[in-house]
Amino acid sequence: MARHSGEKLIVQNRRAHFDYEIFERYEAGIELKGTEVKSLRTSGSMSIQDAYIDYEKGEMSLVNSYIRPYEHGNILNHDPHRKRKLLLHKREIVRLGKRIEEKGLTLIPLRVYFKNGLVKVEIGLGRGKKVIDKREDIKRKDTEREMERIVKRYR
C-alpha cells in the first residue's frame, strides 16, 4: 500500500511499532550495488526484521538487513548481509547522531520502497517499549476490536 503516488513498497517492518515508540520519521536513500537493485526489482525479497541503523564516524548505515542474491548475478553477486550506507543530508546525520548519543534513542528501519525509480528507506527515531507498554497496547487493540464487533453486530 503506497502512501504517495510513485511509490512501490518492497518490505515493511511490522514489529517496529510493537517494539518501539516512534517519535519522528525520516526518508533516506540506500547505497546499493547493481545486483542488489536488480534483485529487489525482480524478486522484491528483502528482510529488515532484525535490522537497525548504526551511527559511526559521521555516517549512518543499515546493518543486519538481508537482500536475496540476484539469480543471474553469478560471481558479481553481493554479500546478502553486508552493511549498507544510508544517504542523508549532513545536517540530518549530525542532528540524529546527537539525539541518539544524548537521549538514548534508536533508529529503526520502518519500510523500504521504490520512489521514482530509486530505493528509499523510511527510518524512525524512537525508544524501545517496555513489556508493560506492550501489554497496554495489546489490551487497547483487543478492546478496540471488541467494540468494532459489537457495533458491527448491531448495524
Beta strand residue intervals within the chain, DSSP E: 7-12, 20-30, 46-47, 52-56, 59-63, 66-67, 84-87, 106-115, 118-128
CB neighbour class for 108 (10 Å; exposed up to 12, middle 13-18, buried from 19): buried
Does the structure show a pLDDT above 50 at 72? yes
- The CATH code of domain 7-130 reads 2.40.280.10
| Phi, psi at 40, each rounded to 5° | -65, -35
Q: Tell which wins on pLDDT, 44 or 63.
A: 63
- Domain positions in the chain are 7-130
Does the structure show a pLDDT above 50 at 54? yes
Each residue's pLDDT tens digit, 105-153:
889 999 999 998 889 999 999 888 777 777 888 888 889 998 888 888 8
Looking at residue 26, its pLDDT comes to: 92
- Could you tell me the pTM of the whole model? 0.75
Looking at residue 1, its pLDDT comes to: 46
Each residue's pLDDT tens digit, 2-33:
455 678 888 898 888 888 888 889 999 998 88
Does the structure show a pLDDT above 60 at 50? yes
Looking at residue 77, its pLDDT comes to: 79
Q: Which of 39, 83, 37 is nearest to 64 (CA)?
A: 83
